[in-house]
Homo-oligomer: A and B are copies of this chain.
Amino acid sequence: MSKWPIPHGMQAALDAARAAEAAGEVPIGAAVMQGDALIASAGNATRTPPDPTGHAEIRALRSAAEKLGQDRLADCDLYVTLEPCAMCAGAISHARIARLYYGASDPKGGAVEHGARIFEHPQCLHKPEVYSGMGESEAAEMLRAFFRGRR
């Protein structure tokens, strides 16, 4: 059960995670919002076609940039169901995303509040506002069930 209503952006990210799972991919989803408007959403897709960079965040950012016709998304927010890894945190910074909202923490692979802590170095040219825990229980349960099913 969520502690508060989950906003549109995180709902779209959770929906994209479910769609990824249905397609045989890891259930992680992301959505780019510009104010109240959903610009793009995407789930993980590293297997079909094979793409080691096919994380939900990368795919949502690329799609949003293409739709808006600009490589900087400074007036956009990114919602993602899991703490971004180093690759995705770097991409979020390059895209100049204003606010990053993520669901579950990822001590094993996350690079926002864990490990490389991408936004905490002087080499990081843009640091978004970061909010975590939104939609956490849904996001984490989806991943737990997925990896349980694979064992």
A interface residue numbers (CB < 8 A to B): 46-47, 49-54, 58, 61-62, 65-66, 68-73, 85-91, 93-96, 107-111, 114-118, 121-125
Contact = CB atoms under 8 A, between A and B. Distances in A.
A95 B52 contact: yes
B62 A53 contact: yes
Contacts of A91: 52-53, 87
Copies in the complex: 2
A120 to B, nearest CB: 8
A111 B72 CA distance: 21
A52 B46 contact: no
A35 to B, nearest CB: 19
B95 A66 contact: no
Contact of A116 (B68, B71, B121): B121
A115 B108 contact: no
Nearest to A45: B71
Contacts of A115: 121-124
Contacts of A90: 85-90, 111
Contact of A71 (B52, B58, B71): B52
